[in-house]
Amino acid sequence: MRRCAFAWITMVLASAALLCLAACSGGTAPPPGQPPTSGGDSQPITRDMASAAPPPGAATDQAASPAPQVLPPVVYVSASGERLTAVFDNAARTVRVTLPGGREVTLPQAVSGSGARYSDGKETFWEHHGDGTYSVGDKVVFEGKALDAE
């Protein structure tokens, strides 16, 4: 009799634990053919993209206010005081960079293991955690930190 009661209690507890795990699993997958609502490899999220998002819990109307396609300019300042400006365009998947000398370059998005990388194969702009690096070939020509939005 005790073995039967022990087995029954063990089975009830195991079932309860499985139900709790299922409830905490984070929801369901999107229907077939639907893209995931977050994550994926559609676009890297830069510091600027995160700051353009509404605060958690804010009421949003997806149809009335789509995500900005062209983000506000970001200014990066080097240790010597030089400035580089980057404008990220989510729709075109490009960045327009204005170098310290005034020259403008538009670069397409490239594969990046971390951060947001844009490159035409010769010139590269890489943004990672608020740091911007501009390179021509293997030579770094600018390194700086993003100015915080006021």
Per-residue confidence (pLDDT) for residue 113, from 0 to 100: 82
Is the domain spanning 68-146 CATH 3.30.1280.10? The answer is: no
Tell me if residue 101 falls in helix, strand or coil.
coil
**pLDDT, tens digit, 9 for 90 and up, residues 78-130:** 999 999 999 999 999 999 999 999 999 999 999 988 889 999 999 999 999 99
Per-residue confidence (pLDDT) for residue 40, from 0 to 100: 43
- Over range 7-16, report the average pLDDT: 55
CB 76 within 8 A of CB 47: no
**pLDDT, tens digit, 9 for 90 and up, residues 53-73:** 455 555 555 555 666 788 899
Q: What is the distance, to the nearest Å, from the Cα of residue 80 to the centroid of all Cα atoms in its chain?
A: 29
* The pLDDT of residue 8 is above 70: no
Q: What is the distance, to the nearest Å, from the Cα of residue 104 to the centroid of all Cα atoms in its chain?
A: 24
Element housing 10 (H / E): helix 2-23
State how far the alpha carbon of 119 is from the alpha carbons of 26, 51, 87, 106, in Å.
36, 24, 14, 9
Element housing 75 (H / E): strand 74-77
Evaluate if pTM is beyond 0.85.
Answer: no
**pLDDT, tens digit, 9 for 90 and up, residues 127-148:** 999 999 999 999 999 999 999 7
Domain segments of the chain: what residues? 68-146
